[in-house]
Structures are given as structure tokens and as C-alpha cells.
């Protein structure tokens, strides 16, 4: 797929990982709809950066904690940037809970934001794509679905659902729409933690460094561009799965 002149949505595109993917898509010529929830200012700044570099885009807020609102995002983006052929599901929660203390409400909250909204966004995206048009979805998941965190229990299980959803949707939507994922390891400090936190984790990795967002954006663009890849989940973990 040639990204130039395509319209794309990046959920959680105002900050951090989502922002890096939004900027990379815009740099490749896409009109990017930057979705946000609470980060209105950062969303404006991300759009300013895109426009300063000669790109185009738009911003819009939807609370993806309520999956019933997810289809509205496709409509908003289509109105703003035209028929959407690229969807990046990056928005997520990162709840702290365990099997001991997770509540039904907390479990549902994690799943609604991290798994259910991406599913129904993808459903609405596929339904809106015109006859004969092709599309690409990239989900952002977590390498820890294979070696689960104990302290982010509902989150990691929701991300495990994203892994399965990636493969199921790739089959369901082929050949018109390809669905892939990037699975992240030590990329950025989680909210509330500093650089030292991830640097300590990175020391244990074969590649001995923190990933940062550039490799994530590069992998997302690769999955969008390469027309013979679907149902794939690329790990960006500095080799962490090997140790």
C-alpha cells in the first residue's frame, strides 16, 4: 500500500507512541486524524507539527472507554480527512490490578478500552471502506502477553485478546483489509515512571537499550506498506523474548 494521499486514524495519537506513528504516517504523505481523549493540547501540538512539516490532518476526541462510541470516530475522521484506509489502534489503558484484587468493573473497564473499542473501531472501519477499496489496520499490543505481568492483570489479558483479534480479523477481512500488530516491550517509561525505570529494565535485554518510539513507527509503516503481510505481530522488544 502506498501511504501517500491515504487518510489514516491513529487512536491515542496526541502523545508518546501514538504521536510517533501519527507523525510518521503524515511524513509518508497520509492525511492523519489524531484521536485523543483528554490530551486536547498535545493533539493540537501534534497537528501543528504535521502542518509545519507540510502535512495535513485533523484532531477529534472520543472516549473509547465506551466502545459504543467507537463508530463515531470513523464518521468524524471521514468527515475531516476523507475515506479512511488506515486505522492504527494505539489508545489503551494500563490498569494496575492482579488476579487477587481485580473487580468485575475494573476488568470491564480495561477490556472496553484496550480490546472492545479496537474491535468495534475495526468493524466500523471495514464497513465504511468503499467497494473495491483496500485498507490496513495496525493494532498496538504488548510483548508481555506471552510472559504476563502479574501487576497489570486485566490489561495484559485484554492485550492477549488484541493478539487473537489481530489474527481473527486478518482472516475475516482478507483480502481487502490487512490486519497486523506491533507488540511493544521497553519503549517508553510508563506514565508516572522516569527514564531510570526503563533503563534498569533495558539492562536485562540482549540489545541493552530502551527502544524509543522510532522503531515502533517504522514497524507500523512497514506493516501498512507491505501488501503480503497479514495476521502478523512484530515484536519490538530488544530481544527480550529470548531471555
Ligand X SMILES: NC(=O)c1ccc[n+]([C@@H]2O[C@H](COP(=O)([O-])OP(=O)(O)OC[C@H]3O[C@@H](n4cnc5c(N)ncnc54)[C@H](OP(=O)(O)O)[C@@H]3O)[C@@H](O)[C@H]2O)c1
Pull the grid cell for residue 129: 471502506
- Contact between 14 and ligand X by CB under 6 A: the answer reads yes
Among 3, 59, 187, 205, contact with ligand X (rule: CB under 6 A): 187
Nearest-5° Cα angle at 129, 166 to 173: 30
d(CA 181, CA 224): 10
What is the per-residue burial (b if ≥16 Cβ within 10 Å, else e) of 138-153?
Answer: bbbbbbbbeeebeebb
Cβ distance to ligand X smaller for residue 176 or 209: 209
64 binds ligand X (CB under 6 A): yes
Q: Which of 27, 65, 160, 215 binds ligand X (CB under 6 A)?
A: 65
Kindly state the smallest distance separating residue 81's Cβ from ligand X, in Å.
18
Q: Does 58 bind ligand X (CB under 6 A)?
A: no
CA dist 182 and 224 (Å) reads: 11
**Positions 202 through 231 that interact with ligand X (CB under 6 A):** none
Residues 11, 38: contact at Cβ < 8 Å?
no
Contact code string over 68-97 relative to ligand X, x by CB under 6 A:
----------------------xxxxx---
- Give the one residue of 7, 18, 84, 223 binding ligand X; rule: CB under 6 A: 18
Q: Judged by CB under 6 A, which of 113, 124, 137, 179 binds ligand X?
A: 113
Q: What minimum distance in Å lies between the beta carbon of 98 and ligand X?
A: 18
Give the number of residues in contact with ligand X, rule: CB under 6 A: 25
Return the residues of window 130-159 that contact ligand X according to CB under 6 A: 140, 142
Indicate whether 38 belongs to the interface with ligand X (CB under 6 A).
Answer: yes
Comparison of 37 and 96: residue with beta carbon closer to ligand X: 37
Nearer to ligand X (CB atom), residue 126 or residue 237: 237
Residue 72 C-beta-side C-alpha neighbours within 13 Å: 10
Ramachandran angles phi, psi of 170, nearest 5°: -60, -40
Task: Show the DSSP H helices in the chain as ranges.
Answer: 16-27, 40-52, 70-81, 104-111, 117-128, 153-173, 195-202, 214-225
Q: 165 is written with which cell numbers?
A: 483479534
Q: Does 33 bind ligand X (CB under 6 A)?
A: no
**How does DSSP classify residue 152?**
B
Closest CA to 155 of 94, 235, 215, 76: 94
Q: Residues in the site for ligand X, rule: CB under 6 A?
A: 12, 14-18, 36-39, 63-65, 90-94, 113, 140, 142, 184, 187-188, 191
Amino acid at each position: 500500500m502506498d501511504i501517500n494521499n491515504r487518510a489514516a486514524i491513529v487512536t491515542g495519537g496526541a502523545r508518546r507512541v501514538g504521536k510517533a506513528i501519527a507523525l510518521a504516517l503524515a511524513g509518508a504523505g497520509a492525511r492523519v486524524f489524531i484521536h485523543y481523549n483528554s490530551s486536547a493540547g498535545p493533539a493540537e501540538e501534534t497537528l501543528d507539527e504535521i502542518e509545519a512539516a507540510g502535512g495535513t490532518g485533523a484532531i477529534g476526541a472520543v472516549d473509547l472507554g465506551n466502545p459504543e462510541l467507537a463508530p463515531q470516530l470513523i464518521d468524524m475522521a471521514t468527515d475531516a480527512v476523507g475515506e479512511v484506509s488506515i486505522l492504527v489502534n494505539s489508545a489503551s489503558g494500563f490498569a494496575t490490578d492482579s488476579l487477587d484484587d481485580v473487580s468485575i468493573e475494573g476488568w470491564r473497564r480495561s477490556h472496553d478500552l484496550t480490546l472492545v473499542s479496537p474491535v468495534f473501531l475495526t468493524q466500523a472501519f471495514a464497513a465504511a471502506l468503499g467497494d473495491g477499496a483496500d485498507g490496513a489496520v495496525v493494532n498496538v499490543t504488548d510483548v508481555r502477553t506471552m510472559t504476563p505481568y502479574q501487576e497489570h492483570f486485566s490489561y495484559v489479558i485484554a492485550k492477549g485478546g488484541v493478539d487473537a483479534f489481530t489474527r481473527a480479523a486478518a482472516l475475516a477481512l482478507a483480502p481487502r483489509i490487512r490486519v497486523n500488530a506491533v507488540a511493544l516491550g521497553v519503549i517508553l517509561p510508563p506514565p508516572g515512571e522516569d527514564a531510570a525505570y526503563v533503563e534498569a529494565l533495558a539492562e536485562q535485554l540482549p540489545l541493552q537499550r530502551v527502544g524509543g518510539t522510532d522503531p515502533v513507527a517504522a514497524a507500523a509503516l512497514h506493516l501498512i506498506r507491505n501488501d503480503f503481510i497479514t495476521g502478523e505481530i512484530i515484536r519490538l522488544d530488544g530481544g527480550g523474548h529470548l531471555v
